[in-house]
Amino acid sequence: MDSHEIDYEIFGDDLQIVEIELDPGETVVAEAGVMNYMEDGIEFEAKMGDGSQASQGFFSKMLSAGARALTGESIFMTHFTNHGSGKRRVAFAAPYPGRIVALDLAKIGGSVICQKDAFLCAAKGTKVSIAFQKRLGAGFFGGEGFILQKLVGDGKAFVHAGGTVIKKRLQGETLRIDTGCIVAFTEGIEYDIARAGNLKSMFFGGEGLFLATVRGHGTVLLQSLPFSRLADRIIQHAPSAGGSSKGEGSMLGEIGNLFGD
């Protein structure tokens, strides 16, 4: 599998953007809706599939698209190709705060498993598929960790993590993690779901009913702020649908009226 050899540069600290430099004829494949800007000469096209298999038939593409739909992602991916005569750049960013991690698949065994919404973009030739968990427990109680994505290739891929990224290298140890905090892990890492603790801890501990368990030999990437956790906190503090809660602006207006004529 020969992926395009793309160059890149990452800008920013906590709200990062990755700028991909494409030689003439090179292509980068990205999730729908993550492009920020592109230079003249780059053309994009929505396609059903990642383009890793040029001879893939329509039925195979439909199966691949159906599998992507299970992850909640668009069945289409966007292919950005440099049709100009010189180097051109295109930039991508995730829709929520965090950091972008560049993965050189050739240096980490040729494949990586990542959270279903972590994939951002990759060099053309990278195969993007889904990875169901084998264990029944992981399937029913895994939550965000149930359906994962698998990236296979020998080029560069980029994943996005919420908040701060922590890299853990396991040498046979076991690590228990909130299912939403896993970004990606390399081959050689076994993934499963385990009960969080006793019944009291499960229902009143605030950490969820089940935790992800990873063990083996390899690297695990963790994120400090899963988007689901951020969204839950926003929903908790959002005004109710009936409008009973009032924002700061309306409250200040009422205070002003109290002191007005």
Q: What is the pLDDT along the chain (261 residues), one digit of tens a residue?
A: 578 889 999 999 888 999 999 999 999 999 988 999 999 999 999 987 776 655 555 555 555 555 555 555 557 889 999 999 999 999 999 888 889 999 999 999 999 999 888 999 999 999 988 876 555 454 444 444 467 889 999 999 999 999 899 999 999 999 999 888 999 999 999 988 776 655 555 455 455 567 888 999 999 999 998 887 777 778 888 876 445 444 445 445 544 555 554
State residue 72's pLDDT score.
56
Nearest to 6 by CA among 85, 97, 104: 104
pLDDT in tens, 120-145: 999 999 998 887 655 545 444 444 44
pTM score above 0.85: no
In the block, residue with structure tokens 């969080």: 196
Q: At 68, which helix (H) or strand (E)?
A: helix 58-70
State residue 116's pLDDT score.
80
In the block, residue with structure tokens 């002003």: 256
Nearest to 151 by CA among 104, 192, 189, 188: 104
CATH 3.60.160.10 assigned to domain 7-238? The reply is yes
Nearest to 68 by CA among 27, 28, 31, 29: 31
Contact 187, 114 (CB under 8 A): no
State residue 142's pLDDT score.
45
State residue 140's pLDDT score.
47
The amino acid occupying position 42 is I
pLDDT in tens, 229-246: 777 778 888 876 445 444
Contact 185, 218 (CB under 8 A): yes
State residue 30's pLDDT score.
94
